[in-house]
Structure 1
Amino acid sequence: MKVLRIANLLLLIAFPIAWFAPLLRAGLLPLFRLSEISVVSGLQSLWKTDMFLALLVTVLALLAPYLKTVGLALVQFDLLDRRVLPALRVLGKLAMADVFLLALYIVVVKGIGVGRVETGWGLYAFTGCVLASFAISFATESLEKRAA
């Protein structure tokens, strides 16, 4: 359980790094320099144009994974009842929805063929954080069930 606690606490550092890392590089035409887009820079642009979508992405990309990680840490340190684990699982699924939306965006833009899109290391970092969070919560739930 100690390893799971440490891994989960490391996610509290890894998620913010992934939010500022370049998710993708995009440009209108192949001849021009590509602009790097991160979760945070994308949110900044969205807040200017579509506040509802910006709020939705903020919940999916920032709040859901971070609240899940904090909640799981509280459960792991016996500061929160383990009955909240199903709710934490829902938060994790919301975070994965954000990764799916990013992948869908990349496929659509590449399919249109107007611009150029390249994935950045931040997409893999963010996806890795979400998947690690899934694995940690699954292992924590399994250990909790065995202990009960």
Structure 2
Amino acid sequence: MQRPIVLTFLRCANLSLLVLYPVAWFAPLMRAGVLPLFSLNEISVVTGLQSLWGSDVFLALVVTVFALFAPYLKTILLALLHFDLLSARTLPAIHVMGKLAMADIFLIAVYITLSKGIGIGRIETAWGLYLFTVLILASILISWLSEQLQKRPKD
């Protein structure tokens, strides 16, 4: 493909993340319940953060940075790069933001694994977890393609 077509695709894909991340933050990541016979409560990134702020402020701050700020800031930086408003020398910093953003998927996976291992309650994954995971992986792919595009000579 030609460079302008690829760049246009990357711009559109990256800008769509700016809209889809907030959707993923409010989408149900999982449904949790204490006993199998009772209904399950839906947990999203936002509701999880709300309960964390009430119990463990430090952990809530860490998760807020990883789940909200890091992926969104990375997406904004990539958009600036795509529109030539940011130097290509910032790509290493953008990669660091991407690694921070991936940490939240790990935290969610640990939470689900621990909850299922205890055996007290019931946890079911919901569509928001898949959406959030796809968005993080799409962001990683967009970053990688952007880096490859920056390495190629301009047409």
1:29 is aligned to 35
Paired position in structure 2 for 1:138: 144
Equivalent position to 2:123, from 110, 117, 131: 117
Aligned residue type for 2:102 = M
Q: Which residue of 2 aligns with 1:85?
A: 91
TM, length-normalised to structure 2? 0.94
Q: What is the RMSD of the two structures over their aligned residues, measured on CA atoms?
A: 0.8
Does residue 105 of structure 1 match 2:111? yes
The amino acid across from 1:53 in the alignment is L
Greater Rg by CA: 2
Q: Which residue of 2 aligns with 1:19?
A: 25
Identical amino acids, percent of aligned pairs: 65
Q: Which residue of 2 aligns with 1:7?
A: 13
TM-score of the aligned structures, taking structure 1 as reference length = 0.98
SS in 1 for 2:28: coil
Partner of 1:70: 76
Query: How far, CA to CA, are the matches of 1:40 and 1:142 in structure 2?
Result: 34
Q: List runs of 5+ in structure 1 lacking aligned partners.
A: none
- Please give the alpha-carbon distance, in whole angstroms, between the structure 2 residues aligned to 1:147 and 1:112: 55
SS in 1 for 2:139: helix
User: 5+ residue gaps in structure 2?
Assistant: 1-6
